[in-house]
Amino acid sequence: MTRMKALGLCRWNLLAVWLLATAPASAQTATPAPGVAHDLARARAQLLSNVRYELSLSLPAAKDQPIDGNMVLRFVLADRTRPLVLDFEPDRPQALRLKVNGVPAASDSVNGHLLLPPVLLRRGENEVEIAFTAGDGPLNRSEDQLFTVFVPAQARKAIPCFDQPDLKARWSIALEHPAQWSSLSNGAELDRVVAGDRARVRFAATKPIPTYLVSFVAGALRVETGVRDGRTLRMFHRETDAAKVQRNRDEIFDLHARSLSFMAKYAGIPYPFDKFDFVLLPTFPFPGMEHVGAIAYNADALMLEDSATQKERLWRARLIGHEVAHSWFGNLVTMRWFDDVWTKEVYASFMASKIADPLFPEVRHDLAFFYDNHERAYPIDRSQGTHPIRQPLQNLADAADLYSDLIYAKAPVVMRQLEALMGERAFRDGLRAYLRKHRYANATWDDLVAALASRARFDVRSWSRVWIDEPGRPRIRTELRVADGRLDALRLTEEDPQGGQRHWPQQLRITLICASTQRTLHADVRVAGIDLTRASDGCVPDAVLAGGQGWAYADFQFDERSSRYLAENLPALEDPLTRAVAWSGLWESMLAGRVPPQSLLSTLLAVLRKERDEQVASQLLSDLGTLWWRFLVPEQRHLAAPELETLLMQRLADAPDAPRKSVWFTALHSLAVSADTVDWLHSVWKRDAAVAGLPLTEADETRLARALVRRDVVESKELLDVQIGRIANPDRKSRMTYLRDVLSPDPREREAWFRELADPAKRKPEDWIIDGLAELHHPLRAEVSAALVQPALEMLLDVRRHGGTFFDSDWMASTLHGHGSPAVAEIVHRYLAGLPQDFPPKLRERLLQSSDLLQRAARARSNSPQ
């Protein structure tokens, strides 16, 4: 039964009873809009206080059996003249039983809300009891597990509640489930009573928390316990490989403990909640989610392979730091409305750097920061789908639209600038004051600006207006003129790429490359142009990097002289961060069409041959993948393949240890197109040959198997079966078994896999679907799959309607990631041009973002000699 039908039926029944039982309600809230509209939320926040939920759920073993629930909801009400609106929009038919202050009542269900009749409500303390069937959508049920994802406003699709971030409440949760399952929730476990094959677990009442942070997880889970700094930490997981758990567990506990103690010290407030658990789930849809006292992670993000690279280890430390930092930023002090969701994200990431960086003294953190933030934000800010960091939001039903790489990546750059402009101490004191003032409550970005502004010696409000409330980035051009070996002019000009008058105050750290030395100049961009001719102090620069030290944020456009010098001499630059910034500028030139892809490939291969820094090498390889598959046509790839593959083989052989070998080996099987190389890779997979110094794990072999199948090696189907047989872990085995059809060498089978997705019920688990779509549209399959781009776009609205938080954007991104042809660019272009007026604007924006590289690649391909 579909969602709409179920609700329609229930509305009719309930409405009949309601008309008999009560007088007509006063007008204003009789038909609340679908979702959670801002005006409804504002009105409710005025009316309600001291909200407490007592939730009991009975979880059956079978995933399609309904979950019976009971909710006792207590609150203080300021005004009882209007119906009180509760949010509840389940995907299951309901036979609700409702009592308001002990009196059985009917309830009208309108647009995903229950209206509580005013005649039964009281001014002051109220108690509402509801027996209901829980909606399945946000509960992510599978055979032997269930986990909630209530962010941003999904709780209402599972249970009745006031689903808005500024109605914080104390939650007492009890779960009844199969006795062999384990479970966790936000509160500490109070008791667990087993009767027959069922267990009933009660969890302690929480401190006041918003609905999006409420969580419970139950299923076949193992538990590891660690004691750190006198606190017991519990890790729930499903990993069956004992050696993998053993290898990771202590470090995972250490990273959490370190994050907790760092944050307590920085914030000047001890860990603000009662207990600390976390759970690793193989199908969790995001890397992590900061549920109070019960953080959820995607298992792969934390349980690393033996061969994990330095980058992956640092990323894990940052992820843990990020989620733990949310205990203060987000969980203790919560945004009033989701338009400020970026504030909690930026501080979590900002703190994560402070926590994780000192653990990796061998890593260049300024370089890591540049890659994690600038290089992640630029792809959005250079696209036509860019948006300001702070975005307006009318309805929480659309809150998922506010999350993007931009808020995770641009905001930290901007905050680092703010900290530098204010001074570290003043900045920290401002944050402390903000956390103290709003603890266990809500606050807005303006509250934070106020806390910072009183400690700053410049105008934080006007700084915030352009960096936080405006989209895009400034363009900074270098003008460098040298005549007869003498510096004639060195000037920087800031422009508004939209042709307006916007000006972005920021600090520049400019690098001058002068013969054998490198110099840094600091300059604040306060006016649109800076003349540095005198400041260069006798140096005649070969190249100028206005974005030197990865500090400032802009579209930096090189002058001719710098551009030429860097293309030829990049590998010779001593400092890895300078190489990274220089490469980033060359890459932007290629994307903008100023440098042809083939000539950038020559530069790239020359750099890769010599690159010594692991982080820089990883980024170069990632850009190489984009250049290789999207910007070059097959003939160009075949011409360049021998040189590239020899280079990768050489780097693989020379790499000093397994993690570094793994980087080059992965690049090799991702990029190889020559028959000889593919044959050798095949024999490695068959275990007839080995990669010296690199023992392959099960995950490595699975990746390799997938790469081989895409290349249509002989007996691909049998290869897949053997690989599935090699996988011991049941979760990974079922994933690979599921993907078999979309990996098939037969295009008809791949298409049949895709056509099945027309049924929303077949689009689960979303994580697998995204993986499958990326496989379907892999560059090696792109030509055949091009015909499926249009149908995938046509399904977008349906995908959005029925899918989880990021499913629609992931759907687009994985559909388009392998394409670069003018024909597919045209399909997307036409689709965008023909969108109806009422098409969700944020979805259009996302499509512009995810198709940006496709459009650029198509332009480059049209211009390149064929």
* # residues contacting Zn ion (CB under 5 A): 2
Q: Which tokens sit at 405?
A: 């790489």
User: How far, in Å, CA of 476 to CA of 402, rounded?
Assistant: 28
Q: Smallest distance from the beta carbon of 507 to Zn ion, in angstroms?
A: 26
Site string for Zn ion, 711-750 (x = CB under 5 A): ----------------------------------------
Nearer to Zn ion, 348 or 789 (CB): 348
Q: Smallest distance from the beta carbon of 209 to Zn ion, in angstroms?
A: 15
CA angle (282, 288, 292) in 5-degree steps: 115
Segment near Zn ion (CB under 5 A); pick from 247-255, 256-264, 348-356, 385-393: 348-356
Q: Smallest distance from the beta carbon of 351 to Zn ion, in angstroms?
A: 11
Q: Smallest distance from the beta carbon of 208 to Zn ion, in angstroms?
A: 20
Segment near Zn ion (CB under 5 A); pick from 123-131, 346-354, 747-755, 787-795: 346-354
Nearer to Zn ion, 294 or 617 (CB): 294
User: SS in 3 state form for 292-336?
Assistant: CCEEEEEHHHHCCCCCCCHHHHHHHHHHHHHHHHCCCECCCEEEC
Nearer to Zn ion, 303 or 348 (CB): 348
User: How far, in Å, CA of 402 to CA of 61, rounded?
Assistant: 36
Pick from 393, 456, 390: which is nearest to 423 by CA?
456
User: How far, in Å, CA of 637 to CA of 861, rounded?
Assistant: 13
Subset of 402-461 contacting Zn ion (CB under 5 A): none
Nearer to Zn ion, 411 or 608 (CB): 411
Q: Smallest distance from the beta carbon of 412 to Zn ion, in angstroms?
A: 12
Q: Smallest distance from the beta carbon of 326 to Zn ion, in angstroms?
A: 6
Nearer to Zn ion, 53 or 150 (CB): 150
Pick from 836, 843, 838, 835: which is nearest to 803 by CA?
843
Binder among 110, 128, 149, 348 for Zn ion (CB under 5 A): 348
Q: Smallest distance from the beta carbon of 391 to Zn ion, in angstroms?
A: 16
Nearer to Zn ion, 348 or 727 (CB): 348
712: CB partners within 8 A, 6+ apart: 745
Segment near Zn ion (CB under 5 A); pick from 298-306, 347-355, 534-542, 817-825: 347-355
Segment near Zn ion (CB under 5 A); pick from 30-38, 343-351, 420-428, 794-802: 343-351
Q: Smallest distance from the beta carbon of 291 to Zn ion, in angstroms?
A: 11
Segment near Zn ion (CB under 5 A); pick from 65-73, 133-141, 337-345, 448-456: 337-345
Q: Strand pairing of 113-116 and 108-110?
A: antiparallel
User: How far, in Å, CA of 489 to CA of 714, rounded?
Assistant: 62
By residue count, the chain amounts to 866
b/e per residue 453-490 (b: at least 16 CB within 10 A): bebbeeebeebbebbbebbbbbebbbbbeeeeeebeeb
Segment near Zn ion (CB under 5 A); pick from 338-346, 372-380, 463-471, 572-580: 338-346
Segment near Zn ion (CB under 5 A); pick from 238-246, 261-269, 339-347, 837-845: 339-347
Q: What is the DSSP letter of 206?
A: P
List Cα–Cα distances, 292 to 56, 170, 325, in angstroms: 19, 12, 11
CB 76 within 8 A of CB 83: no
Segment near Zn ion (CB under 5 A); pick from 135-143, 342-350, 570-578, 724-732: 342-350
Q: Smallest distance from the beta carbon of 296 to Zn ion, in angstroms?
A: 12
The DSSP secondary structure of 7-60, one letter per residue, reads HHHHHHHHHHHHHHHSPPPPGGGSSPPSS-BHHHHHHHHHHEEEEEEEEEEE--
Segment near Zn ion (CB under 5 A); pick from 164-172, 258-266, 340-348, 643-651: 340-348
Q: Smallest distance from the beta carbon of 348 to Zn ion, in angstroms?
A: 5
Using DSSP's 3-state secondary structure scheme, residue 729 falls into coil
Q: Does 319 bind Zn ion (CB under 5 A)?
A: no
User: How far, in Å, CA of 645 to CA of 395, rounded?
Assistant: 51
Nearer to Zn ion, 324 or 799 (CB): 324
Segment near Zn ion (CB under 5 A); pick from 83-91, 344-352, 579-587, 672-680: 344-352
C-alpha torsion 402→403→405→407, nearest 10: 70
Nearer to Zn ion, 148 or 618 (CB): 148
Nearer to Zn ion, 212 or 680 (CB): 212
Using DSSP's 3-state secondary structure scheme, residue 363 falls into coil
CB 811 within 8 A of CB 792: yes
Q: Which tokens sit at 673?
A: 């197109």
Nearer to Zn ion, 224 or 345 (CB): 345
Nearer to Zn ion, 350 or 664 (CB): 350
Q: Nearest to Zn ion by Cβ — which residue?
A: 348
Residue 643's CB is within 10 A of a number of other CB atoms, namely 13
Nearer to Zn ion, 159 or 348 (CB): 348
Q: Smallest distance from the beta carbon of 171 to Zn ion, in angstroms?
A: 21
Nearer to Zn ion, 342 or 754 (CB): 342
Nearer to Zn ion, 327 or 584 (CB): 327
Nearer to Zn ion, 345 or 771 (CB): 345
CB 581 within 8 A of CB 550: yes
Q: Smallest distance from the beta carbon of 286 to Zn ion, in angstroms?
A: 9
Q: Smallest distance from the beta carbon of 804 to Zn ion, in angstroms?
A: 16
Q: Smallest distance from the beta carbon of 338 to Zn ion, in angstroms?
A: 13
User: How far, in Å, CA of 326 to CA of 336, rounded?
Assistant: 15
Q: Smallest distance from the beta carbon of 615 to Zn ion, in angstroms?
A: 23
C-alpha torsion 331→336→341→344, nearest 10: -40
CB 128 within 8 A of CB 196: no
CA angle (510, 352, 228) in 5-degree steps: 145
Q: Which chain residues interact with Zn ion by CB under 5 A?
A: 345, 348
